[in-house]
Every structure is written in structure tokens, then in C-alpha cells.
Amino acid sequence: MKRLLVLLLFLFFGLSIKAQIAPEKYWIQFTDKNETPYFINKPEDFLSERAIQRRLDYGIAIDEYDIPVNPAYLEAVAATGATLLHPSKWLNGVTVEVNDQSVLQAIKALDFVQSTSNLEDEPIKQKIKDDVFLNDEYVTSVDVNSYDSYYGYAAPQIEQLNGAELHELGFYGQGIWIGVCDGGFSYVDKHEAFVSMYDENRFLGARDFVYKNGDVYNESSHGTSCLGLMAANVPNKYVGTAPQASYYLCRTENVKSENVIEEYNWVSAAEFLDSLGVDVISTSLGYVYFDNHQWDHVYSDLDGNTCVITKGSEIACSKGILCVTSAGNDGSTSFPYISAPADGENVLTIGAVGTNGVRANFSSVGPTYDGRVKPDLMALGKGTAVVMAGEGEYYNNGNGTSFACPVLAGMAACLWQANRSSTATEIRDALRKSGNMTVPDNNYGYGIPDFMKALDYLFWEKNSGFVINSAFSVFPNPSNGNVKVLLKIEGNAEAKVYNQIGKLLYCNDINMYNSNGLDDFLSNVDRGVYLINIISSEKNITTKFIKY
């Protein structure tokens, strides 16, 4: 009898211990946001001033998506014994960790719980992920021959997009906030490439959505390399595409495994970034296959509104954020299609080319399941110079659409800085129209964008009512010094000068014999793009002037 009792006790405690050491993560879907303490007409309770201003600037209504999850619902779930991870107001639910099935049953019994879904358990197999790069991305030695300009190693990826000219106009991303979602950012707080980001207070913060209260700097340098393509600023050695933008870092990807919860992590991070007021989210991640294959996405899921991370991306876009994501690295496999969230209709999906402009064979292709062209654009993702983790001067060449994505995202931030009155949609569309593909296809999308063409497109789109006339000219144009105006009009005219967002900067009379006031003004303006409008009794003349 004693032996039987001991055996029963062993079995009882053994089962209890097993439950305790094998916690699982679940998504808890709520039915509603009833009786919430938050209200649409009081957005300051749940959105930052900058986030509210973005909505005002671009005519975006504050709606039900903006209302946080009911805190009473979260408290009730926590009271069951579950560990709360990350709520999502856009999806109206919360991710939790439970280590006892009785806790899950208690959650299901709550009248405001619609459903529960298992998101992460012990993986069937450990997904092999390099601790430096994800998927098929890899590095080789850096080409020291590119160490020959202000951009240093990074020159090829910027010059391919005609980005240097945009920078020369003074648009380096100042005032633009970029959120970066990735698998880790090791050595970002120590590498020379990011010193100016910290010294100039352009580091906005970091948050871990994988490990509760985790440290984003202690695992994976994939995010380090992706961030460096935008934020690095070591003149004559390595300068990124948006070296004066501000950055917030989010770890959403668990590089040790691949589980559906990572898509939910991303959505929680994106809505957090939205509430802060970020302008751009750069995501060098994509999901098709998981450790537990029952969760794998199939082609029909890539329709722009099925995958959780794609749904979140589309909501982020609707909030006025420019979402830029990598196409994926499966182009040479039996399933060559783009991954989620690259299938999003309003997501700017980026494929990879080499320095010769030819698509890298690994770069994933379209179309989406519902027949839309993807990727949208291409950037350098084969032989891309990247920052490597370390405290010193670590740089290498890397391959992957993960790198093409931030190369373009950073330049897009600079373009938006030059056109702050433009919406994220207008920025995206201008970049598509500036691509080198006359007819878009599912290998290249709209091709490699020319950022100066995109700047011109946005400039004249905003001023389509003006007509250029040779009776008025400014030279030299572009100019970096003294300017002379030539007017071929009889009598007096009124001269007006506007900046990129249409603000009147100068207004005075001018005639063909005296343009000194306008000459002096244009000779001393700051770098930028300006619109000069000359109005006489018979003519209305407009020209663009660039100061660099």
C-alpha cells in the first residue's frame, strides 16, 4: 500500500511539474470594447501629442482601433493566473502565457472572451537561424574600394537610388521618426556608427516584445545591420540613407524559433510606435513557415487581409504611417512568393537587386494571391555594405531583402522630410512612379526608384496649376551661391517665393531692370527646393529653384 501511495504521489507531482515547466502562449480574443474608460473625443489619454498631430495633419479620423483594450478585461484575465504579455488594441485582445490548462479553461469561461488560440509551444524542431542574419542572408568581406566618398562603404546603395542629390539639398531625415522592428540590436549602444544618434538625442528608445523586460541589445545583430543602413553616420567611412532621422527600436522576432506569436508581437509593437507618433516603420521580417507546420501560411493566405501581421500593417498604414517591409528571400525556392506582411496592399514591399540593377535570385516575387503586383520597388540587397556587431569598426557586405528594405526606407524618410504636406500614400505612389520599370512586373515591381524624380513628381503634383514660362529664368539653377534673375516682361510684376510646403517666404515687386531684392533673397536662402511665381498684368510664370 505504501509503495502504491508513493507511486500515486509521484505521478501527481510529476504531472504538476510538467505543467509548470511547459508554459504555452495564447492569443485571447475579446468580443468588444464595451464600458471602456477611454473615449474617441479624448485621444490625449491614449495617444501622444505627436500621434494626434499626425492624424490632424493628414485628415485621419481617430476611431475604434485607437481605443485601447478594456483594462477591466485585462485584469480579469490576469486574475485567472495567466501572465499578461502584450495587449493589442487593433486586434482587440492580448497575448498571455499559461502553465496550467485550468487557467486556460478559466479564461475561456469569461463572458467577454470570444476565442483562444495557441501561438507558441515547444517547437517541433529548432529553426536554424544564424545569430547574425535571418533566413538566407549572409555576409562576405567588405569591398574596401568603396571607401572613397562621404558615404564610404555605403556609397553604392545610396547612389543607386540617386539619393545623394536629395541629401545635398539638405534632406537627411531630420525630424522624421522611424520605428525598426527586428530580432535584436546587439552592440547598437556601443558601435561607432550610432554615436551621433545618441549624442544628438535622436535615439527615442527601445522595447522588447519577445522577452518580458528584456534587453534588445543582448541577442542578434540582424537589427543592428538593418538600423545601420539608415542611421549610421561616420562620414567618409559609412553613412546611412537617413543619418539624421530619429529612431525607436522594437524586438518582435524571436531568432531562436519561429512561432505565430511573433506576428502578434509585431502588431503590438506597431500600435505602440503609432501611439508615439512615428512616421515610418521599417520591417526586415517575413513569415510563411513556422516550427509547428500546422501554422504555416499557404499561398491563399497572402491576399493582403488574412495573416495577422498583414492585418496589423494595413491598420498602421491607415493611421498615416509609411510601412516598408522586405519581400523575402525565397525567390529561388519551390515557393518563391513574397511573405507576410509583404502582401499588404498599402505596404511598400522591397525586393533586392545587385549593383548592376539585376534582381537577386533569392529575392521573393509576386503576385499576391489576389493578383496584385509585388514587390513594389527594388533596392540594393546583394553585396550591400552593412554594419556588423562589435565595439569598433565592423563592416561587411551582406545579401538579403532585409537590407534592401532599410536602404529604401531611410531614403523615403528623407523624401518625406522634403514634402511634409504629402501623405504616406503620396510618398509611396511617387516612389512607384519614379521607378525604372515602364511596366511593373512581379519580379521587379516598379523597379529601382530615382529619388530626385520622386521629389520632382511630388513638387509639381502639389503645384499642378502653375505653368512654366521661359520669359523668366534663374541662373545658376541649381545654385550654391549667388543667384541672378532674368525677367523678359515689360512693366512691373509681383515676385513671390514659396517653400516646399507652400509657405510664402518672399513677396515684392520686380521688373526687367531691377531684380536686386529677389537676387539677394535667393542668394541667401537655406538649402532646399523653392517655387518662384511671377505675376504681371499679362503673365503668370512659375519656375522651380534648387539651392544646395
Query: Domain end: 120, 150, 178, which one?
Result: 120
Nearest to 472 by CA among 428, 512, 441, 432: 512
Is residue 466, in this structure, part of any structural domain at all?
no
pLDDT at 203: 98
Q: 10 Å Cβ neighbour count for 441?
A: 13
Q: Does 500 or 428 have the greater pLDDT score?
A: 428
CA 174 remoteness from chain centre: 16
Within 376-469, where are the H helices? 401-418, 424-433, 451-462
In the chain, helix, strand, coil percent, each to 5? 30, 25, 45
Kindly state the cell numbers that stand for 57.
495633419
| 3-state secondary structure at position 530 | strand
Same domain, yes or no: 257 and 295? yes
Same domain, 102 and 186: no
CA distance 89 to 237: 43
Q: Is 70 helix (H, G, I), strand (E, B) or coil?
A: coil
Classify the phi-psi angles of 201: left when phi > 0, otherwise alpha if psi is within -120 to 50, otherwise beta.
left
352: three-class secondary structure by DSSP: strand
pLDDT value for 539: 84
- Rounded-to-integer distance, Cα 347 and Cα 431, Å: 13
Task: Say yes or no to pLDDT of 5 above 60.
Answer: no
Whole-number pLDDT of residue 384 = 95
Same domain, 234 and 332: yes
Q: How confident is the model at residue 538, as a pLDDT?
A: 81
| CB contact at 8 A, 421 and 498 | no
Q: Does any domain span residue 133? A: no
Q: Do 456 and 484 belong together in one domain?
A: no
CA Rg value for the chain: 27
Confidence of residue 138 (pLDDT cuts 50, 70, 90): very low
Q: Are 86 and 263 in contact (CB under 8 A)?
A: no
Assess if residue 130 is contained within a domain.
no
Question: Which pLDDT value is given to residue 468?
Answer: 56
Instruction: Determine the Cα–Cα distance for residues 448 and 164; give it in Å rounded to an integer.
Output: 15
Provide the residue count of the chain. Answer: 548
User: With 50 as the cut, is the pLDDT of residue 161 above it?
Assistant: yes
Residue 126 lies in a domain: no
Residue numbers of the domain that contains 376: 138-461
- How much is the pLDDT for 121? 62
pLDDT tens, position by position, 414-443: 999 988 889 999 999 999 999 999 899 999
230, 249 contact by CB (below 8 A): no
**pLDDT beyond 80 at 2:** no
Q: Would you state the torsion angle of the CA atoms of residues 205, 183, 47, 49, taken in this order, to the nearest 10 degrees? A: 40
- Residue 1 forms part of a structural domain: no
Q: Taking 70 as the threshold, does the pLDDT of residue 229 lie above it?
A: yes
Torsion of CA 253, 255, 258, 263, to 10 degrees: 0
Residue 105 belongs to domain with CATH number: 3.30.70.80
